[in-house]
Structure 1
Amino acid sequence: MKICIIAEGSYPYVTGGVSSWVQTILTNMSEHEFIIYAIGAEKKSKGKFKYQLPPNVSHVEEVFLDDFTEEEDKWGRDYKLTEKEKKALKSLLDSRKPDWDTLLSMFSGERIDSAVNFLKSKDFFDIVHEICLEKYDQIPFTDMFWSMRSMVLPLLICIKHPLPEADLYHSVSTGYAGVLGSLGKYMYQKPFLMTEHGIYTREREEEIIKAQWVKGYFKDLWIQYFYNMSTCAYDTADKVITLFQKNMEIQEELGCSPSKISIIPNGVNSEDYHQLPTGNAINQNGLNIGAIVRVVQIKDIKTMIQSFAIVKQELPSSKFFIMGPTDEDEEYYEECIQLAENLQVEDVIFTGEVNVREYINRMDVLVLSSISEGQPLVLLEGMASGKPFVATDVGNCRGILMGERDDLGQAGIVVPVMQYVEMARAIIQLCKDDQKRQSMGAIGRERAILFYSKKSFIAQYKQLYKDMVDSIWQG
């Protein structure tokens, strides 16, 4: 079976999270051939993979959202769109119910030669002008034109890029990846599976609300545009997989048919985290607090540092290890370094990318301070190691630590987002109570073994792949 996995902003360019999940799928299904369709933000990332690709990956197709500078630059072309096509394009820009069938048909063909040329065409100009006259007559037309152009350009770049043929398309989010999964189904009449780890539209909405580059009156337009792309994936996908109950409820709220949705939680092989290196050689005189995390804004490293400044006053011999890559957002990393210096807090150690298994069992308490998450693998890895967590109340963190399907008890402490004082109190509480740390760690390990098995996770996806492809042959 040839499976095309479509990943946006993750595999194989960054480590952890969704990327680790993809690598697990690939390395545990050697019987299948995989094509990776990787959507990256910037062309400078081309070929810079963070993972060793397994032998069953036959090809990586890369497309970058900024890859348009070398295309032809012609203004005013008339593509002679039909009334149906014009209406469909208008629905994408200014409606809650886009006509995706017509849009996919229009842009997947040869008639529209390039994304850049189309967005400089008379057709696009006229449609934006019409929308402005109808709804936005108080906004300067040039502002609206360039905003809508920048909004649509990345999507059209993706659609116009060649999509390899496969037996099944599997996108690991909605957004651009979800639209391309829909395109694969449309072009090749093959099944489309989508796994949504976090709720993509909610994450983009949060980013846009905070964004400085989007003017206030355009924020709603951008947010609705991302919701429209999710609608495409939800409506087109044959099966939609989520990781936990709360996300399933949100997907239904956003319009996904309940009959399509199934829950397959993440999984870890708990034996991989059993009898790892122990001892306090890295801090013989105090406790070790750790975070397995990429140093990026959505992980809110600054809240960790602020909380540790309080912990350090109470537990002066403690050390804080931030274990993960620092090169994904170098400006943010420098801001974190500067914050630690400004707070005059010592023993904050950025290890960079490391083999987590060499460090994790030497930690006494693990911390996760993310602003947004799905079902974090690092939580399961830490629990499999028997370590208690202090984590923010995002995604499925509460469900994992408190137990959704059992009465085993707490495997950690959940705190509000960005509340560094409460995070510090929770860390101090665990650091000062050996028995509680050991008890929570034991509960976490038992929960990981019972409910978050990698063997079960892989088996369910193997069966899902088989059933979906078999249904096409039988149909």
Structure 2
Amino acid sequence: MSDVTLVVEGSYPYVTGGVSTWTQQLITGLPEVTFSVAHLGGTGEPQYDAPPNLVEVVDVDPETGDLPDALVYHALATGAASDAAARAARSTGRRFVLSEHGLSWLEAELGIVACKPTGGADPRRVRTQARTAYRDAFAVTAVCGWSARRQASLGARDVHVIENTARPAGAPRHAESHPLIGFVGRVVRVKDVVTFLQAGRLLADELPAAQFVVVGPLDHEPGYAERCMELARTLELDVEFTGAADPDAWYPRLDALVLTSLSEAQPLVALEAMAAGVPVVATNVGGCPELLAGCGLVTRARDPRATAAATLRLLRDPDLRDALTRAARRKVEKRHRVDSFLGSFAKLYEAAA
């Protein structure tokens, strides 16, 4: 029996991304806690090295499969994951904790396609699953105040806000001979890489020396990734698609990180860039305005002109850029400490066991 069974859907350890990075950080950061992972919705090749305290990874049928036995069940999303965790908790007389990054029920209502392999996208069904999970969970956690308020609006009580974390960068920043603007993340529809590329074309018209890079896997939605690469060719934009790559190797080279997502909670890549001293432009969605208040720039979603204008403002105003990056680093050091993140979950597991 493990101390905690993490119930995930379409992510760790087979798919890279923010949730998987968060999961790896949680497991490795709590070596005194033993974990099992119940993965719903298919299998694949592990993308992460298994920490010593990860007892097992089990691929489970979302409807009928049994979860690995544990003192606490921890679902990382509403829907199939929370349903499975709740069933296991009821059958064993134990408790389950619910953590959400993106709010799948809200994305379903907005018509945003999630990258989950199981469950339906019917907004009423997804909303009912979330409401039931909030009612039955021993504790609900959110990564930001924005998410916590939405969870509370659907019945969640006493939501614990445990913000994402990033360590201050170790590598020094070094300037490129040309402005380098980066997007970091999966090349999927919800990240709206198309808007990033369109903004890039507008920006390059003003700064012909500007270059662009898209750092992230291309195989999560291959059709969309091909559409983006074809658009870049049509726009004659000087952009590199790296595929899956370590963002930490790119942050020291970037003059700005630009996120054009249609939905976010508290994006890890924004925090990583902030910790690395890279100024951030992001869309006015989810917890992004809260995260970047006083230390970044926020623009409308699906608005290439606004995104290009904000990025150009950063590149042309070194005083603004320096002020924002200093404020961002202070915020990371004060509010996004690794020890605080890990300590909060350790206490939550102890209370739930």
Normalising by structure 1, we get a TM-score of 0.71
Residue matched to 1:380 = 271
Any residues of structure 2 matched to 1:418-437 within 5 Å, and which? 418-437=302-321
Deviation at 1:324, TM superposition (A): 1.0
Richer in strand (by share)? 2
- Confirm whether residue 327 of structure 1 aligns to residue 219 of structure 2: yes
Residue matched to 2:52 = 55
Residue matched to 1:180 = 84
Counterpart residue identity of residue 297, structure 2: I
Residue matched to 1:343 = 235
Q: Is the 8 A contact 2:112 2:190 kept in 1?
A: no
Q: Is the 8 A contact 1:361 1:385 kept in 2?
A: yes
Distance 2:225 2:63 in 1: 34
Deviation at 1:309, TM superposition (A): 0.1
Residue matched to 2:134 = 234
User: CA offsets per residue over residues 400-424 of structure 1, 9 Å max, x none?
Assistant: 110xxxxxxx211100111011000
Residue matched to 1:306 = 198
Any residues of structure 2 matched to 1:332-371 within 5 Å, and which? 332-345=224-237, 347-371=238-262
Deviation at 1:456, TM superposition (A): 0.6
Richer in helix (by share)? 1
Residue matched to 1:151 = none
Counterpart residue identity of residue 314, structure 1: E
Residue matched to 2:97 = 193
Aligned partner of residue 217 in structure 2, secondary structure:
coil
Give the counterpart of 1:293 among 170, 185, 204.
185
Where structure 1 has 5 or more consecutive residues not aligned to the other structure, the ranges are 64-156, 211-218, 403-409, 470-475
Q: Is the 8 A contact 2:107 2:113 kept in 1?
A: no
Q: 1:57 to 1:209 in 2, by over 3 A?
A: closer
Residue matched to 1:24 = 25
Aligned partner of residue 158 in structure 1, secondary structure:
coil
Q: Is the 8 A contact 2:113 2:190 kept in 1?
A: no
Aligned partner of residue 436 in structure 1, secondary structure:
helix
Residue matched to 2:144 = 244
User: CA offsets per residue over residues 211-265 of structure 1, 9 Å max, x none?
Assistant: xxxxxxxx9x921111121122111101011122222221121122x23x21111
Distance 1:47 1:333 in 2: 20
Q: Is the 8 A contact 1:267 1:455 kept in 2?
A: no
Extract structure 1 runs of 4+ deviating beyond 2 A: 204-210, 277-280
Distance 2:113 2:287 in 1: 23
Distance 2:172 2:72 in 1: 41
**Larger RCO: 1 or 2 (CA < 8 Å, sep 6+):** 2
Residue matched to 1:101 = none
Distance 1:49 1:369 in 2: 28
Deviation at 1:173, TM superposition (A): 0.9
Residue matched to 2:117 = none
Residue matched to 2:3 = 2
Where structure 2 has 5 or more consecutive residues not aligned to the other structure, the ranges are 115-119
Deviation at 1:363, TM superposition (A): 0.7
Counterpart residue identity of residue 135, structure 2: D
Q: Is the 8 A contact 1:289 1:318 kept in 2?
A: yes
- Confirm whether residue 162 of structure 1 aligns to residue 66 of structure 2: yes
Deviates more, 1:18-27 or 1:200-209: 200-209
- Larger Rg belongs to: 1
Deviation at 1:28, TM superposition (A): 0.7
Aligned partner of residue 62 in structure 2, secondary structure:
helix
Deviation at 1:208, TM superposition (A): 6.8
Q: 1:268 to 1:331 in 2, by over 3 A?
A: same
Q: Provide the alpha-carbon RMSD of the alignment.
A: 1.7
Distance 1:341 1:312 in 2: 14
Distance 1:208 1:414 in 2: 20
Q: Is the 8 A contact 1:323 1:351 kept in 2?
A: yes
Distance 1:344 1:321 in 2: 14
Aligned partner of residue 169 in structure 1, secondary structure:
strand
Any residues of structure 2 matched to 1:66-465 within 5 Å, and which? 157-207=61-111, 222-256=122-156, 258-259=157-158, 261-270=159-168, 273-274=169-170, 276-280=171-175, 283-284=176-177, 286-345=178-237, 347-402=238-293, 410-465=294-349
Deviation at 1:366, TM superposition (A): 0.8
Distance 1:313 1:348 in 2: 14
Q: Is the 8 A contact 2:182 2:213 kept in 1?
A: yes
Deviation at 1:209, TM superposition (A): 8.7
Residue matched to 1:36 = 37
The percentage of aligned residue pairs carrying the same residue is: 33
Q: Is the 8 A contact 2:108 2:122 kept in 1?
A: no
Q: Is the 8 A contact 2:13 2:46 kept in 1?
A: yes
Deviation at 1:277, TM superposition (A): 4.4
Counterpart residue identity of residue 351, structure 1: T
Counterpart residue identity of residue 128, structure 2: N
Matched pairs, number: 347
Q: Is the 8 A contact 1:374 1:396 kept in 2?
A: yes
User: CA offsets per residue over residues 438-460 of structure 1, 9 Å max, x none?
Assistant: 11111101111011111110011
Q: Is the 8 A contact 2:256 2:311 kept in 1?
A: yes
Distance 2:44 2:106 in 1: 30
Deviation at 1:335, TM superposition (A): 0.2
Q: 1:209 to 1:300 in 2, by over 3 A?
A: closer
Distance 2:282 2:8 in 1: 26
Distance 1:52 1:209 in 2: 29
